[in-house]
Amino acid sequence: MIDAYEEIYDSSSAWGELKGARFEACSFRNVNWAGADLRQSRFEDCTFIDCDLSNIKALGASFQDVRFEVCKLLGIAFEVCNPLGLNVCFERCNLEALTWQEMDVCGFQFQECKLQYTDFTAANCEGVKFATCDLLQTVFERTNLKKADFRTAEQWTIDPAVNQVKGARFQKEELKGLLQQWGLDLRDD
């Protein structure tokens, strides 16, 4: 089992068993762990840059103060991760088809991310910032979106009848995403 502190890893690093591994204050660059078994692994104060963690097995994995930059994380069910101390930041990442069902992602930041087909059903997204994110077909249902920031997000659809949106921030020109479920014709002509 790997137990690392303040290590730097890149594409040339050799990997043994990652299940149950512990990494603290480590940096990962150009690492490809697509499909890897990270069950019960722990990452604390780590940074991932230009890495692929798509379809990892994440049951019980712990991500505390972890930053992902220009990474690919497709198809991950974050709701099976260890929720204790879960705190992640995503910048310029491809996060398609993630699930955050019933998770507390309060205060998370998504900066310039592709969140298409992501599921936030019954999640607590209070105060989450979706800065310049593509939210095409992202599911918000029974989601707490209080004080969430959608001002620079695009392609989102949110039904205020089934989500909590008090204090959420939107651009006036983009309010069609709140009205779509009523089938209104919102043309300017």
Of 129 and 177, the one with more pLDDT: 129
Distance CA 112, CA 133 (A): 5
**What is the model's pTM?**
0.90
Please check whether residue 123 is in contact with residue 100, taking contact to mean a CB–CB distance below 8 angstroms: yes
Other C-beta atoms within 10 Å of 186: how many? 8
Query: pLDDT for 51-110, tens place per residue?
Result: 999 999 999 999 999 999 999 999 999 999 999 999 999 999 999 999 999 999 997 899
Query: pLDDT for 125-167, tens place per residue?
Result: 999 999 999 999 999 999 999 999 999 999 999 999 999 999 9
Query: pLDDT for 40-59, tens place per residue?
Result: 999 999 999 999 999 999 99
The dihedral of CA 120, 75, 177, 173: what is its sign?
Answer: positive
